[in-house]
Structure 1
Amino acid sequence: MSRRCELTGKAVLTGNKVSHSNHKTRRTFRPNLLQVSLISEALGRSVRLKVSANALRSVEHRGGLDAFLAKASELELSQNARDLKRKIAKAGSAEPQQAAAS
């Protein structure tokens, strides 16, 4: 399993640890990843995703998983999140048709 956020694409970065004497040693900067269950209102179920703490704040700020995925670019999403975005869009377009038929 890779160390990459499924929603924002944040991944491991590398850089230098610089000591007081200016010696440089290679190190890694890892994203703060969490395994969370987010609820999709359009699908009516919860979805388990591996997201960064920053992405979790963004999801809350935008008003939930459905709203976040609607605005998100497909390039930064994981394959699992892309499939989820398509399912949510399909479920969202099916709702108005059902309401019109009633």
Structure 2
Amino acid sequence: MSRICDVTGAGPGFGNNVPWSKRKTRRRWNVNLQHKRYYLPSEGRHVRLRVSAKGIKIIDRDGIEAVVRRIRARGVKV
């Protein structure tokens, strides 16, 4: 299962570990994903989303109804 936020679409970043000796090895920076359950009043049910910390802030700002509408417009089943 890939580590991608349902709201923002953010995925892991990739780069190099660079120690003092300058010997580079590949690494990745994972997104801060959380499993959150939100209640949709219009449908009378809960939805479980895999959201990043920034995605949680976007839901707090715009509301869960607007965010779910945007996710469905992208063609993702919620």
Q: TM-score range by the shorter chain?
A: 0.7 to 0.9
Report how far residue 70 of structure 1 moved: 3.6
- 2:18 corresponding residue in structure 1: 18
1:3-52 CA distances to partner (integer Å, 9 max, x unpaired)?
A: 11112111122111222343322101111111110111211221111111
Larger Rg: 1
- 2:65 corresponding residue in structure 1: 66
CA distance in 1, matches of 2:61, 2:19: 38
CA distance in 2, matches of 1:27, 1:9: 20
CA contact (8 A) 2:34 2:51 kept: yes
Q: Percent identity?
A: 33
In structure 1, the gaps of 5 or more residues are 85-102
Higher strand content, 1 or 2: 2
Q: What's the TM-score, normalizing by structure 2? A: 0.78
Q: Does 1:7 align with 2:2?
A: no
In structure 2, the gaps of 5 or more residues are none
CA distance in 2, matches of 1:22, 1:60: 43
CA distance in 1, matches of 2:52, 2:42: 23
CA distance in 2, matches of 1:59, 1:24: 38
Equivalences for 1:1-102 in 2 at 5 Å? Answer: 1-62=1-62, 64-71=63-70, 74-75=73-74, 79-80=76-77, 84=78
CA distance in 2, matches of 1:45, 1:53: 23
CA gap of 1:49–1:71, structure 2 versus 1, over 3 A, is closer
The SS at the match of 1:49 is strand
